Amino acid sequence: MAAESGEKWVLSVTAQTPTNIAVIKYWGKRDEELILPINDSISVTLDPGHLCTTTSVAVSPSFTHDRIWLNGKEVSLSGGRFQNCLRELRSRATDFEDEKRGIKITKKDWEKLRVHIVSYNNFPTAAGLASSAAGLACLVFSLAKLMNVKEDYSKLSAIARQGSGSACRSLYGGFVKWIMGKEDNGSDSIAVQLADEKHWDDLVIIIAVVSSKQKETSSTSGMRDTVETSALIKHRAKEVVPKRIKEMEEAIAKRDFPSFARLACADSNQFHAVCLDTLPPIFYMNDTSHRIISCVEKWNRHEGSPQVAYTFDAGPNAVLISKDRKTATLLLQRLLFQFPPQSDADLNSYVIGDKTVLKDAGIEDLKDIEALAPSPEIKENALTQRYRGDVSYFICTRPGRGPVVLADESQSLINPETGLPK
């Protein structure tokens, strides 16, 4: 048996997995261990070209224990969530053979073989952009490929769910629903794709990464406190979300932007309201977040119909979804007017991702930002104040595809000789 023979081979797989932003939020568990939610949720997968995790996983008879390196640093794999994912994957591993390299691994060998996992985000982890969702989904997806797990993506989503709830929605591109399920063992708490990323490709997404010095409450402990202390969350999970899920599915199917925007904004606001209804109250948004909401609300009102939807997760960053490219350029102009960069900033690192939005907005250097005029609805409200430096940077992106295997060996993060990070 190959796994015992002291052979030197290292077998590896590399995959790339997107992050996602919920437009109907998951907040609250009915089972902490299995990570089972108290309501369904719906998300948009973000283009992995701008925000994603790349993970390489390897197996070798010479590895002595399971190890993981995240963004260049080795971290412990002993946490219950990692262990649950590894156990679930190992129990579903199947026989593998590479005749050319003389590698043969049987289903039973996988129980004893140890793995190395090396993972990088293509965006700063500190920005608080759902890195755990992309990270855990990528870990599960790449290990499933390595171990020749034959289950479909919805079964893999149920494994990723046990790493981090929101991770289960990163197994698909486009628009994704996490069905809460009814079973106690979690077998029906899975993610399904509602529509792929091509279904509604007019949408353009701008993320404002908001400067913040405050240490935020983690989602895991925040939602635990909410479930224990908030009366509002019960009403939300039982009465509000089920209705919104249906309406949101319909809005996505019909590409009905006004309904999509109304539902996404209302749901983000209610999520932050249940955070305030928690004891002690949780504040994820800050003054900058509130100013961004006002800017969008005033503009939408001025136009008489929604141009842009906003949504905020467990932090102050704004995710702004505009109905089309033209609207996205107008949005970017408004954002840059209100939140110009520090005078010594570099425009190239102030607006990242899909730079064509910046170009279409007619902004080629910092002087163009200074020359921007206030938009009509801002002038009307005498709100021409500018908040320099309150946004760290903007990311322009769009709905994107699901996980993929990167077949090109040169993209592997693992040295094929040593099995260690490159």
| 41 touches ligand DP6 (CB under 6 A) | yes
**In the bound complex, what is the minimum distance in angstroms from residue 228's beta carbon to ligand DP6?**
14
Q: Which of 2, 25, 323, 413 binds ligand DP6 (CB under 6 A)?
A: 25
Shortest spacing between CB 25 and ligand DP6, in angstroms? 4
Buried b (16+ CB within 10 A) or exposed e, 259-294: bbbbbbbebbebbbebbebbeeebebbbebbebbbe
| Residue span binding ligand DP6 (CB under 6 A) among the ranges 54-62, 164-172, 197-205, 367-375 | 164-172
CB of 40 vs ligand DP6, minimal distance in Å? 10
Per 3-state DSSP, what percentage of the chain is helix, strand, and coil (rounded to 5)? 40, 20, 40
CA gyration radius for the chain?
Answer: 22
Does 314 contact ligand DP6 by CB under 6 A?
yes
Q: Binding residues for ligand DP6, how many (CB under 6 A)?
A: 14
Q: Is the C-alpha dihedral spanning 276, 279, 267, 232 positive or negative?
A: negative
What is the rounded CA–CA span in Å between residue 363 and residue 346?
13
Q: How many helices (H) and strands (E) does the chain have?
A: 14, 19
Residues between 43 and 102 that touch ligand DP6 (CB under 6 A): none
Tell me the CB-side half-sphere exposure of residue 188, using CA atoms within 13 A: 7
Rounded Cα gap, residues 262 and 254, in angstroms: 15
Residue 178 phi, psi (nearest 5): -100, 110
Backbone conformation region of residue 90, classed left if phi is above 0, alpha if psi is from -120 to 50, else beta? alpha
17 binds ligand DP6 (CB under 6 A): no
CA distances, 241 to each of 53, 288, 315 (Å):
30, 27, 21
Q: Is residue 186 a contact residue for ligand DP6 (CB under 6 A)?
A: no
**Closest CB to ligand DP6 among residues 88, 313:** 313
Binding mask 201-240 for ligand DP6 (x = CB under 6 A): ------------------xx--------------------
Is residue 278 part of the contact set for ligand DP6 (CB under 6 A)? no
- Of 22-30, 114-122, 196-204, 398-406: span binding ligand DP6 (CB under 6 A): 22-30
Among 12, 14, 18, 26, binds ligand DP6 (CB under 6 A): 26
Binding part of the chain for ligand DP6, among 25-33, 52-60, 183-191, 370-378 by CB under 6 A, reads 25-33
Q: Is 22 in the site for ligand DP6 (CB under 6 A)?
A: yes
Task: Kindly state the smallest distance separating residue 52's Cβ from ligand DP6, in Å.
Answer: 16
Residue number with the shortest CB distance to ligand DP6? Answer: 165
How many CB atoms within 10 Å of residue 373? 10
Q: Which stretch binds ligand DP6 (CB under 6 A): 91-99, 160-168, 208-216, 298-306?
A: 160-168
φ, ψ of residue 16 to 5 degrees: the values are: -125, 130
Structural tokens at position 269: 């606001």
Chain residues that interact with ligand DP6, rule: CB under 6 A? 22, 25-27, 35, 41, 132, 164-166, 219-220, 313-314
